[in-house]
Amino acid sequence: MEHQAAAGHHEEHPPTTIKQYVMIGVLLTLITLVELWLSYSGLAHALMISLLLILSGVKFVIVVAMFMHLRFDSPLFRRLFTFGFLLAASIMVALLALFWNDHTDIVGGLPEGAESTQGESH
Amino acid sequence: MAAATHEVEHHTSTGVDNRKLLMWIFLASECLFFGTLISTYLIFRGQSLVGPLPDDVLDIPLTSLSTFVLLMSSLSMVLAVYGAQHGRLGLMKGMLLATILLGLVFLGFQVYEFRHFGHLGLNLTTNQFGASFFVLTGFHGVHVGVGVLYLISLLIGAGRRNGIGRERALWVDSAGLYWHFVDIVWIVIFTIIYLIPQ
């Protein structure tokens, strides 16, 4: 019974109001504008890429938490999505670790003068 | 609202509606799908031996505009879900229509971009950039297209009814989850392909 009551509670409407949704939309737009400015800012690449990835991550979390209501919904949904996301992130890390800067599939090898950054094992 | 509370609820062993559970499982699997496509793009990044290269073709201001359109479609979608959950049929229908139109505008931007790239000599077989770019953004575009069809079917269904029951609200909620997922995938794609310098 308790379980059902808890489940029923999760199916209630999220407490967010229309005004709050609009404010979130404005915030997402502002973050996108900052991203656009950053991409033209001429900052050092490492810093720029870090900032862009952080801002992108913030937008991602805002949409998932507030628009997809994961913040207010059943913990089961949160665990499911987090599992899928982490599994995908792990696969991405594995693929990039295996093939990043791997030029072995370039027919005829690298062009004259091009520097290879691949590992010596190739 | 009254109609919504009087409908019979589904009781499940998990305590949550199975349709919503199915949608979340589907979205979790979609993370893997787009994760591998984004990885492929990153692996092929900077490996093209012939042009056109990303710096020659990408139009960041234009794509920023289409990104804004997709973000606004997410806002209209969440308002449609709000309308469905609070029994406000007019709000739900209006926001569903707005989401459909914004989705179509986004697809229009993508079609324009693809055609423009074609005129510049970039297609699926030109180089690694072309292959990975068209596959990744193309699959995303297909997802937007499927979402538009999904929303059109909901809007037609809503047009035949005078009220919204809990059951119907759940379908709109699930459609919203799908639409927002397509939006967050684009947030990542936009940053990786367009904003991060090559």
Can you tell me the distance from the alpha carbon of B13 to that of B91, in angstroms, rounded to the nearest whole number? 34
The answer, yes or no, to whether residue B107 has pLDDT greater than 80, is: yes
Residue of B nearest to A101 (CA): B43
Can you tell me the distance from the alpha carbon of B173 to that of A14, in angstroms, rounded to the nearest whole number? 12
The answer, yes or no, to whether residue B9 has pLDDT greater than 60, is: no
**CB of A62 less than 8 A from some CB of B:** no
The answer, yes or no, to whether residue B179 has pLDDT greater than 90, is: yes
Two tokens, residue A13: 């409407």
**CB of A23 less than 8 A from some CB of B:** no
pLDDT in tens, chain A (122 residues): 334 433 444 446 777 889 999 999 999 999 999 988 988 888 888 888 899 899 999 999 999 999 998 888 889 999 999 999 999 999 999 988 888 766 655 555 555 555 544 444 33
- With cut-offs at 50, 70 and 90, classify the pLDDT of residue B4: very low
Rg (CA), chain A: 22
* Greatest CA separation for chain A: 73
Can you tell me the distance from the alpha carbon of B91 to that of B158, in angstroms, rounded to the nearest whole number? 11
Sign of CA dihedral B100, B102, B104, B110: negative
pLDDT at A89: 93
Chain B residues in contact with A84 (beta carbon < 8 A): 27-32
Determine the residue among A11, A41, A53, A96 to mutate to test chain B binding: the one whose Cβ has the most chain B Cβ atoms within 10 Å: A11
pLDDT at A119: 40
Inspect the interface and report whether the beta carbons of A92 and B39 lie closer than 8 Å. Answer: yes
Two tokens, residue A64: 């998932």
pLDDT digit string, tens, across residues A57-78: 999 999 999 999 888 888 999 9
Whether B187 contacts A59, CB under 8 Å: yes
pLDDT digit string, tens, across residues B33-80: 999 999 999 988 888 788 788 888 888 888 999 999 999 999 999 999
pLDDT at A1: 37
Two tokens, residue A42: 């001429």
DSSP state of A55: H
**CB of A61 less than 8 A from some CB of B:** no
**Mind telling me how many Å the CA of B118 is from chain A's nearest CA?**
24
Helices of type H across chain A: 2-10, 18-39, 45-62, 75-99
Q: In which region does residue B9 sit, left (phi positive, over 0), alpha (psi from -120 to 50) or beta (all else)?
A: beta
**Mind telling me how many Å the CA of B16 is from chain A's nearest CA?**
6
pLDDT at A112: 55
Sign of CA dihedral B162, B167, B168, B169: positive
**CB of A68 less than 8 A from some CB of B:** yes
* Mean local confidence (pLDDT), B172-181: 94
Predicted ipTM?
A: 0.84
* Mean local confidence (pLDDT), B78-105: 92
Chain B residues in contact with A102 (beta carbon < 8 A): 43
DSSP per residue over A82-106, as a string?
Answer: HHHHHHHHHHHHHHHHHHTT--TTS
Facing residue for A74 by CB, picked from B16, B30, B180 = B16
Determine the residue among A80, A86, A92 to mutate to test chain B binding: the one whose Cβ has the most chain B Cβ atoms within 10 Å: A92
